[in-house]
Amino acid sequence: MPAPHLLGIMDTYYDDKEEWNYAISGTYRTLMRSMRDVGISGYVLICDTLHEPEIEALVRQNVFFFPLKPDRKNLHALWSTSTR
């Protein structure tokens, strides 16, 4: 599924990046929990670039970020999340 930043949803309610990230990531965690309850055991979040707040909030053993155009920065971010 697309990573949160690809949804195109704008923060017109919180007016605070940190709070907005917390809210959208919480929605994704709820969605993934519901999917897990029906038997889905892993998730791939497709993204154009990796956003640190999304990685911090959503990376788990069964959640993978897949950048469409990986560059050195994105590959390094993926590597550093795999060592957590």
The pLDDT tens digits along the chain (84 residues) read 999 999 988 888 889 988 999 999 999 999 999 999 999 999 999 998 888 888 889 988 899 888 888 888 777 777 766 655
**Number of compact structural domains in the chain:** 1
Beta-bridge mates of residue 65:
45
Number of CB atoms found within 10 A of residue 70's CB = 14
CB-based contacts of 83: which residues, under 8 Å, 6+ apart?
Answer: none
Residues of the domain holding 72: 4-82
Whole-model pTM: value is 0.80
The whole-angstrom separation of Cα 20 and Cα 26 is 10
